[in-house]
Amino acid sequence: MIDLAIRNGLLVDGSGAPPRHSDVLVDAGRVVAVEAPGSTSPGTATRTLEADGRLVTPGFVDMHTHYDAQATWDPFVTPSSWHGVTTIVMGNCGVGFAPAAPDRHDWLIDLMEGVEDIPGSAMTEGITWGWTSFPEYLDALESQPRILDVGTQIGHGPLRAYVMGDRGAANEPATEEDRAAMASLVAEALRAGALGFSTSRTPLHKSKHGELVPGTDADATELLAIAGALADVGHGVFQFAPDHARVPVDEWPWMLELARRTGRTVSVNLNQPDSDPEVWRKVLSLLDEAAAEGLSMVAQVAGRSIGILYTLRGSIHPLLFHPAYAEVGDLPITERIAALNEPERRRRLLEEVPEDDGGLFRRAVIEKLDRMWLVEGADIDYEPPPETSVAALAAQRGVPPMALLVDQLTSADGHGMVYAPFFNYAYGDLSMTFEATQHPHTRMGLSDAGAHCGAICDGGMPTFMLTHWVRDRTRGPRLPLELVVHRQTRQTAEVYGLADRGLVAPGMRADLNVIDMDLLGFDVPRMAYDLPAGGRRLVQRGRGYAATFVAGVQTVADDEPTGELPGRLIRGPRPVPA
């Protein structure tokens, strides 16, 4: 007898091979066989799940999340577990919570709040600090049952502040002793089970109080010294968030040197800024050259534009920059909406263009109306055409554009939303994403699940990849189902050396999804107040997940958690099963 048989599914096994109808047999948390439908007698399994032609995939492996705080209190790791994710990697972009001196707790929370827009009050209430060192942080994570597997990295921000104190926090140069101490602690973290080291070099990443993330201006000597720990221990990814325009010029020399010296994978975030819409092509060309040299360098790319869902209940929206809004912005939401609809205040919002603060309102709102779209319903159009922008709709209807914005943002009790892309939409469509997704040296990432709680809900990226790119896209060619599954299963697992998952084959972990592609989609996005201390976050549940299994245990049934918590901490790379 075996534990489970999933029969007659349309299997996309994660390898990139075309779909095929198969039975998948599972025992003791592993796949034991993949067979043609009907090859095994019905009585051989304790439990049988009839897939009836529905899609069967490996569980999704999201390698770019920010659950560093949430994973210490939330066993269900939402929203990722709503979208077929069975393994996450956190500790990205140089932020995290270990190592952590006792007098740095509030500082680390402020850093995470500023960079990743996670409510500080939620982290203050939710985190039960029981560690100082990174190995102790791993022990704390390991003690918590959860719905999926969690791996993490050590971040440059907490590391620098721990070793250098205020000098590190203020981005002062590291001494030789500082560099040696940081390298030693990174080696300690890797030996305890960290999957890599991360840093941030973008001026966009700042603490709650406006300071750059520690390490933003670190020189190559510091970066290479820390990376030496990856070479010494023999595993780990070097991940970083760049200033995109600097990668092909300022960053590439040390990136190459680091990859050559360590033999480890360098993973760089890659987006398309409007200010340099062709920089991504330069980076992909450099990746080709590095691969020809035998170096392991990849670029993480998102599955869609990086943007903001503006809502009155969120962190940012267009009205914030207008004095007429500032006068009532601190009122409770119901009173605020009423005040915004008062005739005189509404007239000011629609007609007045304030020029204070250097004309911020004009630059951030008035000049961007052709890059804003009203959100209607659950399936947000992340590839909207120019003729449906706020500016275009206003012209068609003969109304002021600001009238559309005010009406939308004050609708649905303040839950009304407006979408504004700011990366990966310089061409006015997702053609950049389409090309970058098919490049051999890019990897699926940047969902930022668990972060940017008041502005995005991109933790549902796996669902979007299957709906938009495989099934629904109309503004260009679609992507093959097997590529989309491969991109977010086997490929992402292999980046971090997790060779035991991301593939449906004998001996592999039985992390599996059974998906109804006809039903696959999203619920309406909404602002929830379900974090500790009533902290807010945008959430959007997935639909169409008939079943999700983690190590052979069913964690989701018909889009609802079963209550099972088989997830574990991942300590270091996982070998190919014998």
Which residues neighbour 499 within 8 Å (Cβ) at sequence distance 6 or greater? 493, 573, 574, 575, 576
Whether residue 21 sits in one domain with residue 60: yes
pLDDT the model gives residue 69: 98
Boundary-marking domain end, from 423, 448, 469: 423
Question: Which CATH number is 2's domain given?
Answer: 2.30.40.10
314 phi, psi to nearest 5 deg:
-95, -170
pLDDT the model gives residue 378: 80
Q: Is the pLDDT of residue 204 over 90?
A: yes
- Domain range for 320: 309-423
Give me the percent of the chain exceeding a pLDDT of 90. Answer: 95
Q: Is the pLDDT of residue 507 over 90?
A: yes
Give the SS3 label for residue 226. Answer: helix
Boundary-marking domain end, from 380, 404, 423: 423
Whether residue 485 sits in one domain with residue 535: yes
Residue-wise pLDDT tens digits, 422-479: 999 999 999 999 999 999 999 999 999 999 999 988 999 999 999 999 999 999 999 9
Q: How confident is the model at residue 370 (pLDDT cuts 50, 70, 90)?
A: very high
Whether residue 327 sits in one domain with residue 225: no
Q: How confident is the model at residue 358 (pLDDT cuts 50, 70, 90)?
A: confident
Q: Which among 578, 571, 577, 566 is positioned nearest to 75, based on CA atoms?
A: 566
Q: Can you say whether the dihedral through the CA atoms of 129, 131, 134, 139 is positive or negative?
A: negative
How far is the C-alpha of 185 from the C-alpha of 172, rounded, in Å?
Answer: 19
Residues 306-331: what's their mean pLDDT? 95
pLDDT the model gives residue 39: 79
How far is the C-alpha of 134 from the C-alpha of 128, rounded, in Å?
Answer: 15
* Residue 155 in domain: yes
pLDDT the model gives residue 539: 94
Residues 512-537: what's their mean pLDDT? 96
Residues 343-349: what's their mean pLDDT? 97
Q: Which DSSP string corresponds to 27-47? A: ETTEEEEEE-TT-S-GGGEEE
Residues 401-420: what's their mean pLDDT? 96
Residue-wise pLDDT tens digits, 40-90: 777 789 999 999 999 999 999 999 999 999 999 999 999 999 999 999 999
Q: Can you say whether the dihedral through the CA atoms of 253, 298, 138, 115 is positive or negative?
A: positive
Whether residue 152 sits in one domain with residue 97: yes
Whether residue 235 sits in one domain with residue 111: yes
Whether residue 227 sits in one domain with residue 95: yes
In angstroms, the first-to-last Cα distance of the chain is 21
Region class of 424: left (phi > 0), else alpha (psi between -120 and 50), else beta: left
Give me the percent of the chain exceeding a pLDDT of 70. Answer: 100
Q: Which DSSP string corresponds to 130-195? A: --SSHHHHHHHHHTS-BSSEEEE-EEHHHHHHHHHTHHHHTTPPPPHHHHHHHHHHHHHHHHHT--
pLDDT the model gives residue 178: 98
Whether residue 107 sits in one domain with residue 51: no
Rounded to the nearest integer, the mean pLDDT of the chain is 96
pLDDT the model gives residue 578: 82
Whether residue 105 sits in one domain with residue 254: yes
pLDDT the model gives residue 355: 85
Q: Which among 100, 90, 155, 95 is positioned nearest to 129, based on CA atoms?
A: 100
Residue-wise pLDDT tens digits, 257-314: 999 999 999 999 999 999 999 999 999 999 999 999 999 999 999 999 999 999 999 9
pLDDT the model gives residue 43: 78
Task: Indicate the number of domains in the chain.
Answer: 3
Whether residue 106 sits in one domain with residue 79: no
How far is the C-alpha of 203 from the C-alpha of 197, rounded, in Å?
Answer: 19
Whether residue 194 sits in one domain with residue 177: yes
Residues 398-420: what's their mean pLDDT? 96
Whether residue 258 sits in one domain with residue 166: yes
* Residue 385 in domain: yes
pLDDT the model gives residue 488: 98
| β 30-35/418-423 pair status | unpaired
* Residue 340 in domain: yes
* Residue 219 in domain: yes
Q: Is the pLDDT of residue 38 over 90?
A: no
Boundary-marking domain end, from 365, 400, 423: 423
pTM as predicted? 0.97
Residue-wise pLDDT tens digits, 542-578: 999 999 999 999 999 999 999 999 999 999 999 999 8
pLDDT the model gives residue 118: 97
> How many DSSP H helices and E strands does the chain contain?
19, 25
Question: Which CATH number is 212's domain given?
Answer: 3.20.20.140
Q: Are 549 and 567 in contact (CB under 8 A)?
A: no
* Residue 466 in domain: yes
* Residue 397 in domain: yes
* Residue 438 in domain: no
* Residue 575 in domain: no
As given in the structure block, the two tokens for residue 420 are 């504004």
Whether residue 541 sits in one domain with residue 469: yes
